[in-house]
């Protein structure tokens, strides 16, 4: 299959994409978080094609994307508690809400669960595509299963060339990490952190719980609220190792690891924060951004992992604190490292 790329500026982009979606095909499209791989969310056979193209385990449910707030209510069985206030504050935007599913939602979307995840993206191109398709669009991130999520159309092409007919190119994604996933099926619980932080949610609906798997691997026998959490995730081919500590101490430890791996003949790259950059001596580093602004760290992470993966066997990366969007950054980074992390005293 030949994969075409159309700019979202091209007047043919949205109509061509919508026609493919209505015909049961796949279209990769930009959102403010990461690129999505979309199909008609009410057509089970179309949704099956998403799993095939990504190589995604079919027990991992998908998010339905809507163009208007009111469209969410036809997908849920009744009105979720807190939903109106959350939608008024954060939609369109990077917040996904989970609640009991309505019967029209196909089993392929929910992977057999009795709940469904819904979000309204804050990307004009994404909403235009959904509106023109006339159906909710089911879309996971548009990467091969297990790889870092795509934040540019080129990343999508790198993973999906020959597997899907069309990529809509809307430039780099603003946030660069996927939406916050909040379950409203019981007490409000964050299953996956994102740009809408626990602090921001608490300001609207009071304290929310955090799923235990956000910053730690699943323990044997533990069941998981969000099936996506149990798989190897966001991982480049290179081994990622994380060191969390004050800038000077983290740089010293990473420098020691660097010398050790380089001495053993490995190709090593360092992903550093601006605060620690002065402490790496003559070792070359790739700059992630400043610890003062974890939102920028989030937006750079997946792209940098993909970039460094081309030239390294081992990627040594600094971790940061988990306040604000630092939680989303650490959630993705620790998974990309398969939880290979050192916390310095």
Residues making contact with ligand TXA (CB under 6 A): 31, 33-34, 36, 60-63, 94, 96, 98, 110, 113, 115-117, 121, 139-141, 178-179, 181, 191-192, 225-228
Q: What is the DSSP letter of 144?
A: P
Instruction: Name 312's bridge partners.
Output: none
Q: Outline where DSSP puts E strands in the chain.
A: 4-7, 27-29, 36-40, 63-65, 95-100, 115-119, 137-138, 166-169, 180-183, 189-192, 209-210, 239-244, 268-273, 285-289, 314-319, 341-343
Q: Is 16 in the site for Mg ion (CB under 5 A)?
A: no
For residues 116 and 215, what is the distance between their CA atoms, to the nearest angstrom?
24
Sheet strands side by side (includes 239-244):
285-289, 268-273, 314-319, 239-244, 341-343
Question: 130 vs 317, which CB is nearer to ligand TXA?
Answer: 130
Min separation Cβ 147 and Mg ion, Å: 9
Tracing tokens 């760290």 back to the chain, one arrives at 297
Nearer to ligand TXA, 30 or 245 (CB): 30
Tell me the HSE value of 9 on the side-chain side, using a 13 A CA sphere: 1
Q: Which residue is nearest to ligand TXA (CB)?
A: 228
Contacts with Mg ion, 216-245, as mask; x by CB under 5 A: ------------------------------
**Pairwise CA distance, residues 145 & 59, whole Å:** 13
Q: Which is nearer to ligand TXA, 116 or 272 (CB)?
A: 116
Closest approach of ligand TXA to the CB of residue 233, in Å = 8
Select 67 or 229, whichever has its Cβ closest to Mg ion: 229
In the bound state with ligand TXA, the residue whose beta carbon lies nearer, of 32 and 318, is 32
Interacting positions 129-148 with Mg ion (CB under 5 A): 140-141
Partner that binds at residue 97, options ligand TXA, Mg ion, none, CB closer than 5 to 8 Å by kind? none
The one of ligand TXA, Mg ion, none whose footprint includes residue 110, by CB under 5 to 8 A per kind, is ligand TXA
């Amino acid at each position: 299959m030949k994969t075409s790329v159309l700019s979202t500026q091209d007047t043919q982009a949205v109509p061509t994409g919508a026609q493919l979606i209505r015909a049961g095909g796949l279209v990769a499209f930009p959102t403010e978080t990461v690129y999505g791989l979309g199909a008609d969310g009410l057509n089970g056979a179309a949704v099956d094609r998403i799993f095939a193209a990504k190589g995604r385990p079919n027990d991992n449910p998908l998010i339905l994307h809507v163009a208007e707030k009111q469209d969410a209510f036809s997908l849920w069985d009744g009105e979720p508690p807190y939903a109106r206030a959350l939608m008024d504050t954060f939609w369109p935007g990077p917040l996904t809400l989970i609640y009991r599913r309505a019967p029209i939602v196909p089993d392929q979307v929910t992977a057999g669960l009795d709940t469904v995840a819904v979000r309204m993206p804050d990307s004009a191109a994404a909403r235009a595509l959904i509106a023109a398709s006339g159906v909710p669009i089911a879309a996971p991130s548009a990467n091969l299963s297990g790889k870092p999520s795509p934040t540019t159309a080129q990343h999508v092409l790198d993973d999906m060339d020959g597997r899907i007919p069309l990529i809509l190119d809307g430039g780099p994604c603003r946030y660069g990490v996927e939406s916050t996933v909040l379950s409203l099926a019981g007490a409000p619980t964050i299953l996956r952190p994102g740009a809408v932080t626990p602090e921001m949610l608490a300001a609207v609906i009071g304290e929310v719980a955090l799923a235990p798997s956000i910053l730690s691997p699943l323990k044997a026998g533990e069941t998981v609220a969000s099936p996506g959490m149990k798989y190897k995730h966001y991982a480049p081919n290179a081994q990622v190792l994380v060191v969390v500590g004050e800038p000077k101490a983290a740089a010293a430890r990473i420098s020691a690891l660097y010398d050790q791996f380089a001495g053993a003949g490995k190709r090593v790259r360092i992903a550093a924060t601006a605060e620690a950059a002065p402490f790496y001596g003559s070792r070359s580093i790739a700059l992630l951004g400043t610890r003062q602004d974890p939102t920028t760290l989030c937006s750079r992470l997946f792209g940098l992992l993909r970039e460094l993966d081309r030239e390294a066997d081992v990627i040594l990366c600094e971790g940061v604190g988990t306040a604000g969007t630092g939680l989303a950054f650490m959630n993705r980074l620790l998974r990309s490292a398969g939880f290979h992390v050192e916390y310095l005293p």
